[in-house]
Chain A
Amino acid sequence: MRALRAWIMRVGGVLGRRRHERDFDEQMQADIDLQIEDGIRAGLGESEARRAALVSIGGVAAAKEAWRDRRGLPVLETFLRDVLHASRVLRRNKGWSAVAILSLALGVGANAAVFSAAYALLLRPLPLPDAANLVTLRWEGENKAWTGFVDYGYVPGSFGSGWLAAQPDFSTDALRGGVTGAFATYRRLDSAQRTLTELFASGRGPTVNLIVDGYGDTATSQFVSGNYFAALRLAPAAGRLIQPADDAQGAPPVVVLSHGYWLRRFGGSPSVIGKEVRINAAVFTIVGVSAAGLPDPALVEPAQPELSIPIAGEPLFAQGESRLEQTTNWWLVMMGRLRPGIAAHQVEADLGPLYEQVTRDAIASLIGSLPSEDQQEARKMGFGTKIPRLRVVSAERGAYDPLHPALRFPLAILGILAAIVLLVVWVNLGNLSLALTTAREREIAVRRAIGAAPGRIVRQVLTEHALVAVLGGAASLGSAWLFQQLLRTYFAAPFDSAVIGFTFAIAALTGIVVGTLPALRASRGPEMPQPGGGSSRRSRLASGLLVSQVVLSFVLLIGAGLFLRTLYNIRAAAPGFDAERLALLTIDPAFNQYDDVEAGALYGALAAEFKTLPGVSSVSFSSQALVDGNFSQRSAYAPETAGRKYAAYLVVAAPDFFSTLGIPLRAGRVFGPQDPVEPKIAVINEALAASLFGDANPVGRRFGMGMEADEDVDTEIVGVVANTVYGNLRTSTPRMIFIPHAQSAGGPRTFQVRTAGSPADLLPAIKKIVAAADSSLPIVRLSTQASVIESQSEQERTIALASVALGTLTLAVSMIGLFGLMSYTVSRRTRDIAIRMALGADKGGVLRSILRQGLVLVGFGTALGLAVALLSTRFLAAFLFGLAPHDPIVLIAAVLLMLGVAVLAAYLPARRAASIDPIAALRQD
């Protein structure tokens, strides 16, 4: 207790130092006086008494020092003094501090954002109770037992060569971590397993139309086993969750809403619980809402699908045979909870043999049921030959496979980029602090001369860097958050204590890495001037750092230039149609069980209503909006092409499509209301016409188009239109085929409404018209053509923005590095320059020689950077548009910018060198 009290007093003693010292001085003086008086009383002379008193005290300064050490905490005091001094140094060098802190914030922030993504995906335990005993079941090895797409069931007799060839290649383990198996496999494993308390399953469902009180809206869905929520130990946010009884055959259909969907659509109202609703055509009861913030433990999704439906309800959504009947259609992700004392490999031993047997039997029985022709085809493809093994791994951190290529690759790229940025920042800061310590050489020399120990100076310089690191760390939190927002589209991750801790750890590491070298150099004291002006080790190091900085920032500069031009080119790309003042509406009547005839009637009615809206001049519809990222590809061929096929994109269009979008007709005619279902006709664009028929007039000729298989050359070309873009702006002149709506009626349709006013203002009226026609029909998209196009260049904008910001900052920082190095050189060579000037060198000569010295370094770095850029930018080709990776304009502009800025940065120190007064300089030392 006493020790603690004394310690607290000592910490307190650090404060109010001046007052305490005055008090102590007075006390000591009083004691000395008393002693002198005593001496006089004892018969000594006054001076003798004074001498005796001072001798017995044993040195005033030493006594005071000993008292001072005891009064406060010397370590704390020195530290505070160091921090105060460091903050004075930083304040005095505001520009230096700003650049140092800013570049630190950039480098550390980028790393923290990447870390947070990796941490959230791979390291953070799932926020579920007892997550430690969750396991996920995966397959491993070659897989020739899986025949189904998730969305397409097997239809007997459909094994054509084309269909089979279109199967994804499951023989590699590229899809590892995806689904575990078919529904039948789940049933067999669940009844046989003895190592898990629960085995549960979930599988992705279709996007559905949820109709509540006659109003429809689309929602994503998943199918879950009856024990899914119980096994995850989840509590409902409202109502109840799905129970095993709900997953029995013949049980009344129920649905559980995700918390997010409940809030978004129903405002969190408890009155929807117990409501009877329609999902597509089937009647369901909403029984509850799952908890907020729940991740999807099974699928690579940031959140749970909006609706959870028992697996037993799957047949209500099946088009054709239910997935529950398809024994080789793998669509369920299976997970389990370990029994106490059981390890994952024991589950593998328990279930592995059965898993392989069920899998082998299923594929064998499927092949056996095929017509003999298809059997041979399937065997030729290797089906049934490779059966994968079962792997059971911990799902504590989610079912994500850390080695899954879909995650590993982007994270690795991001990690490497972030590390490069950090490296640049370290080099920058290293050079900056070298320049700063050099500029303070005189100050440090003075401090050493008056007795500061080397350790004291090391501590001082380290404290300055620690202060920069702390300030930079704080700024990094801001930049980390910004970077995270940029990454949000790709990796959603929370901003939490782990991220904050990582940020400060990296910032502190940076402070230590960058601060150590200059600190040690400073403690060694100023170097002796070297005869003949030979370059010292320090300036060689600084030059090396500068060159590497120039190389890196030059490469980044070129990258920024390439991405900037790409963005500009994409923005400037002419779509080939009038994209302004066009409102878009996408609906899919199949969501509400319309057949093609009913859908056609709805389209006609909607188009007629839209035309009555004020300012609307024309209305049409097509299978998709142009430039919305969707692609529907066909192979086009004609007798004239001698067997060659051309990839072409398909649009199903209403007659007014071309006039509404403003696509000019080049030859023949467009569609009309009179076009019959047969014979097949099409309009093609000029690009396809040129590919198929060269310069010949295509109107009246026939061509064929197929997805994979050859179809007859049975489609007559009735017209040719000008080229436009298709799914995105990057493919500048895609070949295109337009076929009339009357000849291909199914699928979603997008309306284009041309208006004289602002298309955005039209959207509420359009929504009202759709609701009046059928309130239970969900609106898939309501937007404008301009914003659809804008969102297509989102990625380019992000990349361009990030690379320009990065390039500019590294350029600025390395130029400050150049400025610092040149200033250092000038200050070191002041004497040398003065002698030369005294011997008759003119100011211009001095100016030029200093400038030359700086530019030689930058030129060397630029040349090196050019070589690096030429070698590395070709990897960027896929991201560029309208220019080559070695685009001469970008290269020349980058070189000019680099050298121009370098001249500027070297000019100021050079001018100072030229204005040296030889007499004053020579007298100075």
Chain B
Amino acid sequence: MKRTTDVWQGTLALMILTTLETMGPLHGYGIARRIVQRSGDRITLNYGTLYPALLKLEQEGYIRSEWGSSDNNRKAKFYELTRAGRRQLSKASAEWQRTTQILDRFLDSAKDVS
């Protein structure tokens, strides 16, 4: 059985924003599917986590939603990035990278000492 991880709230927001940037407007199921695929099925995502996260981003004004039609003409609610969302994405991903770099370096140096 494959190891799966529950996703963190903070990183989930970043994942949603990234997904919407690369994929363009997408419905809730599409976002979930894309995130799970990109993680190589290493994380599980249930709607009890996803929907509140989407709602939070929407309340913060980073994404907006509207009803639209899917590829095969099904009605669904689509999310897309706002301008504030794009700014937030670049800011947050830069921050995330800086954090992981620092952490990597820290963990590496710890390895050297031992």
List A residues at the B interface (Cβ < 8 Å): 2-3, 5-6, 9-10, 13, 24, 26-28, 30-35, 37-38, 56-59, 62-63, 65-67, 69-71
In the complex, what residues of A have CB within 8 A of residue B75's CB? Answer: 30
Tell yes or no: B49 within 8 A of A by CB: yes
In the complex the two chains form, is B55's CB within 8 Å of A67's CB?
Answer: yes
Residue of B nearest to A27 (CB): B77
In the complex, what residues of B have CB within 8 A of residue A33's CB? Answer: 74
In the complex the two chains form, is B55's CB within 8 Å of A71's CB?
Answer: yes
In the complex, what residues of A have CB within 8 A of residue B33's CB? Answer: 35, 38
Tell yes or no: B48 within 8 A of A by CB: yes
In the complex, what residues of A have CB within 8 A of residue B77's CB? Answer: 26-27, 30-31
In the complex, what residues of A have CB within 8 A of residue B27's CB? Answer: 30-31, 34
For window 35-58 of B, CB contacts with A under 8 Å fall at: 44, 46-49, 51-52, 55-56
Q: Give the contacting residue for B46; candidates A9, A30, A56, A69; CB below 8 A.
A: A56
In the complex the two chains form, is A30's CB within 8 Å of B76's CB?
Answer: yes
Residue of A nearest to B49 (CB): A66
In the complex, what residues of B have CB within 8 A of residue A69's CB? Answer: 52
In the complex the two chains form, is A57's CB within 8 Å of B52's CB?
Answer: no
User: Contact residue range for chain B?
Assistant: 20 to 34
Q: Give the contacting residue for B48; candidates A2, A31, A37, A66; CB below 8 A.
A: A66
Q: Give the contacting residue for B56; candidates A59, A63, A70; CB below 8 A.
A: A70
30 A-B contact pairs sorted by A residue (CB < 8 Å): A2-B60, A2-B61, A2-B62, A3-B60, A5-B59, A5-B60, A5-B61, A13-B59, A26-B77, A28-B28, A28-B47, A31-B32, A31-B76, A32-B29, A33-B74, A34-B76, A38-B33, A57-B47, A58-B47, A59-B48, A62-B48, A63-B51, A66-B49, A66-B51, A66-B52, A67-B52, A67-B55, A69-B52, A70-B51, A70-B56
Interface of B is mostly: helix
In the complex, what residues of B have CB within 8 A of residue A63's CB? Answer: 46-48, 51
In the complex the two chains form, is B74's CB within 8 Å of A58's CB?
Answer: no
Tell yes or no: B70 within 8 A of A by CB: yes
List B residues at the A interface (Cβ < 8 Å): 27-30, 32-33, 44, 46-49, 51-52, 55-56, 59-62, 70, 72, 74-77
Interface of A is mostly: helix
Q: How far is the CA of A867 from the CA of B83 in the complex (A)?
A: 82
In the complex, what residues of B have CB within 8 A of residue A26's CB? Answer: 77
Residue of A nearest to B62 (CB): A2
Minimum CB–CB distance for A27 against chain B, Å: 4
In the complex the two chains form, is A57's CB within 8 Å of B46's CB?
Answer: yes
In the complex, what residues of A have CB within 8 A of residue B30's CB? Answer: 34
Minimum CB–CB distance for A452 against chain B, Å: 23
In the complex the two chains form, is A6's CB within 8 Å of B59's CB?
Answer: yes
Q: How far is the CA of A140 from the CA of B75 in the complex (A)?
A: 92
Residue of A nearest to B75 (CB): A30
> Can you add 18 more A-B contacts, CB < 8 Å, to A31-B32, A32-B29?
A2-B62, A9-B59, A24-B51, A30-B75, A31-B77, A34-B74, A37-B72, A57-B47, A58-B47, A59-B48, A63-B46, A63-B48, A66-B48, A66-B52, A67-B51, A67-B52, A70-B59, A71-B55
In the complex the two chains form, is A37's CB within 8 Å of B74's CB?
Answer: yes
Q: How far is the CA of A66 from the CA of B76 in the complex (A)?
A: 20
Q: How far is the CA of A31 from the CA of B78 in the complex (A)?
A: 10
The 3 closest A-B pairs by CB, nearest first: A58-B46, A70-B52, A31-B29
- Given A5-B59, A70-B56, residue A27 in contact with residue B47 (CB < 8 A): no
